[in-house]
Structure 1
């Protein structure tokens, strides 16, 4: 799959004409893979919860989506405004929280 178009400053990707914050480019590949795996699992769980009309499961799944996206640097304080230590703390904390909330 080709890489999405990026803005000149590298902070955003452009998909179908819409700008989205890019993931933190300093993420180690292993952390990126773990966070993306958690994100995809959580998104599947949101769909399952919606189909089964389970608001508590939906709430938990959506919180996992938010943690994964924050760990990737796509939500929260923009990654380009954080120090290297703060960026590392963010993805480590997201992975810790996600490990505590593994999907059933």
Structure 2
């Protein structure tokens, strides 16, 4: 079995800006959000959701699922990056730097 590598393990980020002016639009927004969360995505910031994937192949599966859920209106972005790249993120709360909180627990099997 191949060991996990910070260059093989991937993160999928979904960014979205959907209209919410009408009741119907808010329902579409809420449904999209609930469906990606049901697929294992976690809120990183408002309208930015992340999912940890063991490989690029696994990430591709989840990217395809998100694409099937895309609403008619709005702006949606999907970005796939390595665990190494994700680990290099710098987060700030105002001017104060925050420690990166990983929204998953990785288990390594031998």
Question: Same fold per TM (> 0.5)?
Answer: no
Structure with larger RCO (C-alpha < 8 A, sep 6+): 2
Higher helix share: 1
Which structure: greater strand fraction?
A: 2
**TM-score where L is the length of structure 2:** 0.32
